[in-house]
Amino acid sequence: MNSPDSSGEPSTEPLLRKVDAVMVRVPDLESGLGFYRDKLGHQLLWRSDEIGQAGLALPDADTEIVLATELDYAPSWLVEDADEAARVFVETGGRIITEPFDIPVGRCVVVADAFGNNLVLLDLSKGLYETDGNGSVTGVEKRTTENPLE
């Protein structure tokens, strides 16, 4: 992965792959969907009442708006391996805010960079959400490729 070499330069490809989602705190999913889906026109991709989150599409990107009842506003960065990314952040002068933990689609960690900025890093190692016709999450589709961007 992205461990620095003796010169301090990354020895492989960049650690952060893309912005996976931007979390937006809402008081409840119904009012959040009423605003972002019904008034602003964003298509519902998935909804999980169990974790208090719903994913909405952006028309010009595969980054999602994720409405969340328990999490604060933050971008979530996709990485190949959340545990390895946490290790790299610590090695390069950052720190772990929240130790790596399981999420339905993979693993997640919250880190701070060398300047104190918090970043949410996640991998999709378990797969992607499967949904029914209403967008409700029914399970997780297992990964069929090693590339988390596919």
Q: What is the pLDDT of residues 2-45, one digit of tens each?
A: 555 555 565 578 999 999 999 999 999 999 999 999 999 999 99
The reported pLDDT for the residue numbered 47 is 96
Distance CA 3, CA 43 (A): 38
Q: CA angle, 82 as apex, 78 and 84 as ends, to 5°?
A: 125
The reported pLDDT for the residue numbered 5 is 53
Q: Mean of the pLDDT values across residues 104-132? A: 90
CA-wise closest residue to 74 among 47, 101, 97, 105: 97
Q: At 110, which amino acid appears?
A: V
Do the Cβ atoms of 145 and 131 come closer than 8 Å?
no
- Taking phi over 0 as left and psi of -120 to 50 as alpha, with beta for the rest, 9 belongs to beta
The reported pLDDT for the residue numbered 72 is 75
The domains found in the chain, sorted by start residue, are 18-138 (3.10.180.10)
User: Where do runs of H (alpha helix) occur along 6-149?
Assistant: 29-33, 82-91
Residue 139 has pLDDT above 50, yes or no: yes
β-strand pairing of 95-103 with 106-112: antiparallel
Q: How much of the chain, in percent, has pLDDT values that exceed 90?
A: 64
pLDDT per residue over 64-88, tens digit each? 999 999 977 778 899 999 999 999 9
